Structure 1
C-alpha cells in the first residue's frame, strides 16, 4: 500500500485514539541550580549496568559514572576516542592494550579509582550471562600498579574492545564483589552522585570532587518517568520541568517558536526497527520476512515522522565501522512481496496465521501512528496483522521476550562505532536479542568479522559480506534512523546532547 497523507488519514480514522492528554506534573517548584528532567521511558529497577540495555538506565549512567574512553560519534574522525579516566593507552598488538589511569580520580564515596577497580569491572562485564552482552568473549586484565594495567582480548579484536568502552562504566571493585549492591545503588566517578529514589523520582546531587570539573551551577537533578508526551510538554511550558526528551515532531515545531523554551536536535545513532520474531512461523522463513519488508512504503513513513527521523539505507547507521549503503535496501515493492509470499507457500497471504504487531505509546515519536500505517500496508498485501499498543513499561517487558507477538516495534541506539552492538546481539543465533533468529549462513560471516584483528579488513568484511547477508536474511527491517529532540527551559543553558541522546549537564547553568 503506497502511503500518502490522504490514505493515512483514511486508515487511522477507523482506529480509535486511546492516548489521553496527560495532566500537568505535580512536582516541587524549581530552585536555582535544580533540574527536573522528565523521561519517556521507565528504568528497570536494577542499577547494575551489566544487566540492562534500557535507554532510561544508560541516560542516568551517563551522569553518574564515567568510562575509560568515549567516542563523540560526530565530526571528521568518528573512530578517534576522547580520553576520559585514562591518561593514555597503546594497542601493542591485535589483542592487547596497555592503559595508564589518570591519578586522583575519586568515587562518590571518597575512595580513589585504581586499576583493581578497572580489572573487576571489565572482567565482570565480559562474563558469560551478562544481559548487556556487548563483549564477544572474556577479557583478562593484568594490574601492573595502582594506575597501570594491560587488557587482553583472546577471541575478538583489541580495537573492538576500545569501541566497547562507551558502555563499560567503571565500578568499584567492592561493589562488583557484591552484585546486590550494584542492583540497589550506584557509586561512580561521574559529575553527579545518586542520593536515592523517592515518589518524586530518582535524585542526584553534584559531586564536589568530580575529576572533570563542572563549569555550570547545577547542584541537583531529579529524573522522573512520565510516559505521556503531552504531559511532559505541558510540564515544561508551565514551569514544572526544565528538561524533556523525545519530542514529537509537531511539539518540536511548536516549541522552537516559544521564547521561554530552547530546543535541540541531532541526527542520532538510533535505528528504528520492525523486528520479526524469527523463532516461530511464519517469520522463521526469511522469504516471509522479506515479503513483509517489501510491503512497507518507508518513504511514506518518513513523511509521517517528519523532523524526528531521516532515511536509512543499511542496517547500520553511518557512524558505525563498516557501514555502507545497501543497494535497494528496504525498497517498497508489492510485486516482490507477492512473489516471495507465493514461494514461501502463502500465495496472497493465504494460510498465514494471525499475526500480532506490538508497539508502545509515549516513548518513540509517532510510534502508534507509524505502526498503524505499517499494519494497514501489511494488511493490504494479505498479512493478517493486528496491532497491540502498550504503555512503555509493558512494551519494555515484551521487547526482549521473543515469544511475545510476531513483530515488535523498537529502536537501538548504541553510542559507539562498534557494529557488533547491533550485529552480534541481534543477528547471531546464540544471542538473537529481540529477533530470536537462527541463520547458520549469517552466523558464519558474523564470526568471520569478529575474529579479524585488522580494523580496515574487518570493515571490508562487514560492508561486503555481513551487511548484504543481513539484508538477505532480514531478521528485522530498519524503517528509518531517529533524530533525537529535546526541549529545555530557556533559563537553563549549555546542556549538550550526544548522538545517542545522552545529556551532559556539567557546563549547564540555571538562571
Structure 2
C-alpha cells in the first residue's frame, strides 16, 4: 500500500521519554499507547474499540473467535457446536479452565454470563449485536450448554464471538471496572492514567511471552508515534497518515472500520429525507479522503467488501452541491425549518484526523445552506448521543461514528443501526424491521440477498446516515516486537500473539 509523507511536520519529543528505552529492552513487559482512555472496562462493552483493545482475549474470552482470513467461527472456550433444530444450538465447553479468581469455568458460568449480558439491568453494548433475539441458556451437564433462541439464528456461533464470559462472582446488575475472565492476563490496576495487565500463571492455553502490559492514552497521533519511536512505548495501534513516515516501524492495513455520520431522523429538519440526502450530496468526498490516505475506500454502506451482505451494486453518494442546495430549497418551500441549528457531535480521538474531517464537513454543510455547528466530546459524553436512551434535550443532531465489523456477516451491523429497537438506531420503520427479521433468520444466498436489499433500502429510501470511508489503519510497532496488525486490531490486541525478536 502507498503511504504519503507530509513534509515539514516537526515533533518535539521530551528528552525524558527516551529514558525508558534501555530498561524495556531487557524485559518482557510492554507499553501500549492508545488514542483515548476507556470509559470503563466492562466486558459487556468490549465491542467499543477503547475497551476491546484492552480486555478482549486478554482478560476475558468468548466461546468462539472469528478467523480474520475466512470469517468463520473457531473454537475458544467452546470446543465444538451443533445445531439441534432451527432454534437450538448445543455447545461443548473446554475443560480444565479457571477464571482468574480461581472459580472453575463451566456451563453455569456460561449461563450466568449470557443472562448478565441479556438481562437489561445496565447498558450492554455487546447484546446489540444480537438484534432483538432472546436467548435461553440451559446447562446439559457441567461442560455442555444448549442455547435456544426465540427466532432462528443460523449464525449463532458467530454472534457468540462478542459474548465475553465472566466469573459468576461478577455483579449481575451493574457495569464493572474490574473484569474477571478466563484469559491469559488479569487486571492489576486501572487508573485515569494507566491500565496494567499481568500474566496469569497456569493459563489453560500456555504461557504467553508478554509478562505485563501497561496501557496509557495520548490523544495526539504525533505524540503516540514519537513515544514508540523513542522507546517509551512499544506499540500504538492507530496513528495518522502524516505520522506514518518510517517504513521499518509503520504498517498500513485495510481494517474493518467504516466511518459515517448518523442522522437523528426524529427531529426537524432531519426528519425530512431531502435534508438527509442534501447532507450526503454537499460533501466533497474526494477532497475529504485526502485526510486518510491514498488507499482509503469510499463507503456506500456500513460494512466493508467481503462481509456477507455487502452490496457491491451500491454507489457512494457523489459530490453535487447544486443538487444539495436545490433539495434544501425545496424542503424550505414546503415549510421544513432548514435554518434550525443542527449540532454535530464528534468524539475526540475516534480516528486520526477525525476532528479536521468534521470541521471541513461543517463548512461544506453551512455553504449548502444548513445551520450546522460542531461540538467535540470525550467518549463518555459522546456515548450519550450515540446509544439509547438518547438525551431528551438533544435537539436536531448528527453523530460521528466509526463501526467495526470484522465478523464476516452483516448481522453485526444491520440490527444495531437500522432496526427500530437497535441501540444506535434513530428509526421507527416497521417495514424495515420486518425485512431485517427475515434476513436474520435466512441462510446462504437468501441471507446475502436479503442483507444487500436492506442496504439498498437504507441508502436510497431511508437515508439515515452519511457513509464516509472504509478506513486504512496505520500502526507503529517498536523494534523489540514481532507483531503485525490485522483486520482485528481495531477491536482487540491479543497480547498472547505478541512475540519478542530477541
TM-score (norm 2): 0.86
Q: Secondary structure at the match of 2:351?
A: coil
Task: Look up the SS of the partner of 2:169 in the other structure.
Answer: helix
Counterparts of 1:220-239 in structure 2, within 5 Å, are 220-239=212-231
1:467 aligns with one of 447, 450, 455:
455
Name the residue aligned to 2:85.
93
Q: How has the CA–CA distance of structure 1 residues 123 and 348 changed in structure 2, closer, same or farther, with 3 Å as cutoff?
A: closer
Q: Name the CA shift for 1:52/1:166 in 2 (closer, same or farther; >3 Å).
A: closer
**CA 96–383 in structure 1, closer or farther in 2 if over 3 Å, else same:** same
C-alpha distance in structure 2 between counterparts of 1:318 and 1:137, whole Å: 26
Contact 1:71 1:82 in 2 (8 A): yes
Over 3 Å counting, the alpha-carbon distance change for 1:372 and 1:312 in structure 2 is same
How far the C-alpha of 1:283 sits from its partner, in A, is 0.8
**Matching of residues 255-404 of structure 1 within 5 Å:** 255-256=246-247, 259=248, 262-306=249-293, 309-345=296-332, 351-391=338-378, 394-400=381-387, 401=390, 403=394
| Conservation of the 8 A alpha-carbon contact between 2:252 and 2:473 | yes
C-alpha distance in structure 1 between counterparts of 2:355 and 2:429, whole Å: 31
How far apart are the structure 1 equivalents of 2:148 and 2:451?
A: 23
Q: 1:61 to 1:415 in 2, by over 3 A?
A: farther
2:141 paired residue number: 145
Deviations 1:183-239 (A, max 9, x none): 13111111211112246511111122222224x521000112222222212222222
Q: SS of the residue aligned with 1:417? A: coil
User: Per-residue displacement from partner, 1:226-255 (whole Å, max 9, x unpaired)?
Assistant: 222222122222221111122100111x13
Task: Give the match for residue 470 of structure 2.
Answer: 481
Q: Distance in 1 between matches of 2:94 and 2:271?
A: 50
Show CA shifts across 1:157-179 (max 9, x none): 131x2221221111122325x44
- 2:52 counterpart of 1:65: no
Q: Does 1:55 align with 2:49?
A: yes
SS at match of 2:277: helix
CA contact (8 A) 1:126 1:137 kept: no
1:23 is displaced (CA, Å) by 6.4
Per the alignment, in what secondary structure is the counterpart of residue 429 of structure 1? coil
Asked if the contact 2:79/2:92 (under 8 Å) is kept, the reply is yes
Corresponding residue number in structure 2 for 1:421: 412
Distance 1:360 1:25 in 2: 30
User: 8 Å contact 1:246–1:363 — kept in the other structure?
Assistant: no
Q: In structure 1, the residue corresponding to 2:472 is in which secondary structure?
A: strand
1:258-301 Cα shifts (integer Å, max 9, x gaps)? x5xx2333212211011112221111222211111111222222
Query: Higher mean Cα deviation, 51-60 or 111-120?
Result: 51-60
User: Could you say if the C-alpha distance between residues 318 and 346 of structure 1 is closer, same or farther in structure 2, counting changes exceeding 3 Å?
Assistant: farther
CA separation of 1:98/1:326 partners in 2, compared to 1, >3 Å: closer, same or farther? same
Report the 3-state secondary structure (helix = DSSP H, G, I; strand = E; otherwise coil) of the residue aligned with 1:292.
helix
Between stretches 500-509 and 32-41, larger displacement belongs to 500-509
Alignment check: 8 A CA contact 1:348 1:381 kept: no
Partner Cα distance (1:362, 1:371) in 2:
12
Structure 1 distance, partners of 2:15, 2:151, is 52
- In the alignment, the residues of structure 1 paired with residue 297 and residue 288 of structure 2 have an alpha-carbon distance, to the nearest angstrom, of 10
User: Which runs of 5 or more residues in structure 1 are unaligned?
Assistant: 1-19
Distance 1:66 1:467, change over 3 A: same
Cα distance in 2, alignment partners of residues 419 and 287 from structure 1: 27
The whole-number CA distance in structure 1 between the counterparts of 2:246 and 2:395 is 37
The CA distance in 2 between the partners of 1:348 and 1:411, in whole Å, is 33
CA distance in 1, matches of 2:355, 2:282: 18
Q: Encode CA deviations 1:327-359: one digit per residue, 9 max, x unaligned.
A: 333222334323432442359998421222232
Partner of 2:6: none
Which residue among 247, 267, 291 is the counterpart of 2:239? 247
Local SS of the residue matching 2:52: helix
CA apart distance, 1:405:
5.9
Gaps of at least 5 residues in structure 2 are: 1-10
Residue matched to 1:14: none
Helix, strand or coil for the counterpart of 2:189? strand
Match of 2:5? none
Q: Tell me if the contact between 2:272 and 2:336 (Cα under 8 Å) persists in the aligned partners.
A: no
Equivalent position SS for 1:121: helix
Pairing 1:209–2:202 present: yes
Equivalent residue number for residue 178 of structure 2: 185
Indicate how the Cα distance of structure 1 residues 25 and 503 shifts in structure 2: closer, same or farther if over 3 A, else same: farther
Query: How many Å separate the matches in 2 of 1:119 and 1:244?
Result: 36
TM-score of the superposed pair, with normalisation by structure 1: 0.85
Does the 8 Å CA contact 1:278/1:438 hold for their aligned counterparts?
no
Rounded Cα–Cα distance in structure 1 between residues aligned with 2:485 and 2:369: 46
Query: Partners in 2 of 1:106 and 1:498 — Cα distance?
Result: 29
SS of structure 2 residue aligned to 1:345: helix
Deviation at 1:25, TM superposition (A): 8.3
Specify the alignment match of 1:458 in structure 2: 447
Change (3 A) 1:351 1:265: closer
